[in-house]
């Protein structure tokens, strides 16, 4: 009988790879990275670029938001190329959109703005189920028609919230794609939305997606807690800190209104 084959070298990075999607301990082949690692990196990079440049299918999103009145608006950026070069234009509503909101009903507790941001892919995959989950927890509030905004940045929600007379605005927006995930959605909550609000006046819930990120139910729990605390205290941002009621570390869920 032949001698048993000696064990191969121990990979010290193996346990860490199970705990993160980051690219660690890739190894090398000669002076370069292994071919498989190079191909995986190139595929992730292409996916991220596609997420940035892909247009949002507004009709499909509106259909997925069934049960909610939807207003379709746009920023001052006329196209994707301009949007990427001129962030300032993505923060302001187009003249046509301003006219649309001028004829809309006003006076709401909260307005939801679904914005394509830097990943229309994230919005297409995650915005509708997240919004449905949030509304189930906030159904006792006066909720404005859902706004779907294209070529939009976070601050566009300030214009929308002000025009609708909303006490709060929650912007669901595609986050900048990374090389680990290109489908991550963020939520930005602002009390008393007005043009010129600073980022420090907003609360952010990030990394919402179905591929290992924050789940829709977890994100909706966090958002519902923040919304009710913001309405009670009259603040968001650095003045409103999350505590156990927001993170729900005991596994409990916020009340869901059927």
In a 3-state reduction of DSSP, which class is residue 118? coil
Estimate the share of the chain in helix, then strand, then coil, as percent rounded to the nearest 5. Answer: 40, 20, 40
pLDDT of residue 253: 43
Residue 175 annotated in ligand binding: yes
* H/E run at residue 227: helix 216-233
**Is 201 marked as a binding-site residue?**
no
| Residue 217 in marked binding region | no
Q: What structural domains does the chain harbor?
A: 56-247 (3.40.50.11240)
pLDDT digits (tens, 9 = 90+) for 125-135: 999 999 999 99
Q: What is the mean pLDDT of residues 243-257?
A: 43
Residue 60 pLDDT: 96
pLDDT digits (tens, 9 = 90+) for 57-106: 999 999 999 889 999 999 999 999 999 999 999 999 999 999 999 999 99
Mean pLDDT of the chain: 88
Nearest CA to 248 among 217, 204, 206? 217
Q: Phi, psi (5° rounding) for residue 195?
A: -60, 135
- Nearest partner of 235 among 186, 196, 192, judged by Cα: 192
Beta strands in 53-184, from DSSP E residues, in sequence order: 70-74, 108-115, 146-150, 166-174
């Amino acid at each position: 009988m032949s001698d048993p084959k000696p064990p191969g070298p121990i990979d010290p990075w193996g346990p860490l790879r199970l705990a993160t999607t980051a690219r660690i301990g890739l190894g090398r082949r000669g002076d370069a990275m292994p071919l498989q690692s190079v191909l995986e990196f190139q595929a992730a990079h292409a996916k991220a670029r596609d997420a940035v440049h892909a247009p949002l299918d507004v009709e499909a999103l509106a259909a997925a938001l069934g049960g909610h009145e939807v207003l379709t608006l746009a920023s001052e950026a006329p196209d994707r190329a301009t949007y990427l070069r001129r962030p300032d234009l993505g923060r302001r509503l187009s003249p046509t959109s301003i006219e649309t909101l001028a004829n809309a009903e006003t006076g709401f507790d909260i307005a939801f703005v679904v914005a394509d941001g830097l990943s229309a892919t994230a919005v297409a995959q995650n915005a509708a189920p997240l919004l449905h989950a949030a509304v189930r927890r906030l159904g006792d509030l006066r909720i404005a028609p859902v706004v779907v905004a294209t070529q939009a940045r976070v601050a566009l929600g300030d214009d929308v919230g002000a025009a609708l007379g909303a006490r709060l605005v929650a912007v669901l927006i595609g986050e900048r794609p990374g090389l680990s995930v290109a489908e991550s959605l963020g939520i930005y909550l602002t009390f008393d939305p007005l043009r010129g609000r600073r980022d420090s006046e907003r609360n952010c819930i990030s990394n919402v997606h179905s591929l290992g990120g924050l789940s829709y139910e977890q994100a909706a729990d966090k958002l519902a807690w923040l919304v009710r605390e913001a309405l009670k205290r009259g603040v968001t941002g650095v003045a409103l800190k999350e505590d156990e009621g927001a993170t729900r570390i005991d596994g409990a869920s916020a009340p869901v209104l059927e």
